[in-house]
Structure 1
Amino acid sequence: MTEKTASVHWEGTGKAGQGQISTETGALKNHPYGFGSRFEDDRTGTNPEEILGAAHAACFSMAFSFAAADAGFKVDALDTQASVRLVKQGEGFLIDRIALTLEARMPGIDEATFQKLADGAKVHCPLSKALASVPEIALKARLV
């Protein structure tokens, strides 16, 4: 069993306030975020959706790598992107879609087996399971 931690310090009101996100490993240390980096085009900070996307892409990539190894295939390289869509719903917001895009370089694997491994990794990735309430988790997998 493993447990990881992250923390946030926030000051001020929703739109005018500012926060800092830190992770146990120090990958993020007092990294800024706020309304501008979440809902506008402020690129100086991060936001929960891109952090969620990064976590999901990382988890999925690892799950795929393990599944490929278990099936006897070597992975030369994987590149995964996750796009997280936040939409207005009533007075609040909802993540209604996460789109995973995988590009993989793997010698000796056929397309059907590759797609089966990718679909399985999407289903069995712990973050996919945790995000089961998201109405759509799409996957586009391509051998390169």
Structure 2
Amino acid sequence: MTTRSGSASYDGFGKDGKGHVSTQSGVLSDTQYGFGSRFEDGIGTNPEELIAAAHASCFTMALSFALAGAGFTAGKLETTAKVTLDKDGDGFSITKSALDLKATIADISPEQFETIAAGAKANCPVSKVLNAEITLTHSLNA
């Protein structure tokens, strides 16, 4: 079992509040977040951006391991995730994570690649935790 942690603080309330988020690894250390960075073009990060980075990295690593398990030894994978936050009644919900993958892999058929990529999308831990539509578009050896 692996356990990782992150922490957040928020001083003040609503639009006037300011927050900071940190990760156990120190990659984020008191990184600013708040209304401006979430709903406007303010400086700092936001939960959706962090989830997008987590989903892109988790899926890419899962695909890498699945390809290695299928006997492929070299290539490059680049994934972007776009997470959508929609108004939902009195609050908000993350409704979609759109993965866009660019892959360079020698000697793989498009059908085999599609099967392995679909499995990685369905089985990466972040995909499993999201209660949202997850889509995958890709280009192979482009």
Structure 1: runs of 5 or more not aligned: none
Identity %, equivalent residues: 50
Residue equivalent to 1:108: 107
After TM superposition, give the deviation of residue 75 of structure 1 in Å: 3.6
Q: Residues of 2 paired with 1:124 and 1:82: CA distance?
A: 16
Per-residue CA distance 1:45-69 (angstroms, 9 max, x = gap): 0000000000010000000000000
2:138 maps to amino acid = A
Verify the 8 A CA contact 1:98 1:138 in the aligned structure 2. yes
After TM superposition, give the deviation of residue 15 of structure 1 in Å: 0.9
Residue equivalent to 1:139: 136
Q: Show the 5 A alignment for 1:1-144.
A: 1-42=1-42, 44-131=43-130, 133-134=131-132, 136-144=133-141
Match of 2:85, SS state, is strand
1:55 maps to amino acid = A
Verify the 8 A CA contact 1:75 1:106 in the aligned structure 2. yes
Q: Following superposition, which runs of at least 4 residues in structure 1 exceed 6 angstroms of deviation? A: none
1:32 maps to amino acid = Q
Structure 2: runs of 5 or more not aligned: none
Count of residues paired in the alignment:
141
After TM superposition, give the deviation of residue 14 of structure 1 in Å: 1.6
2:58 maps to amino acid = C
1:51 maps to amino acid = L
1:142 maps to amino acid = S
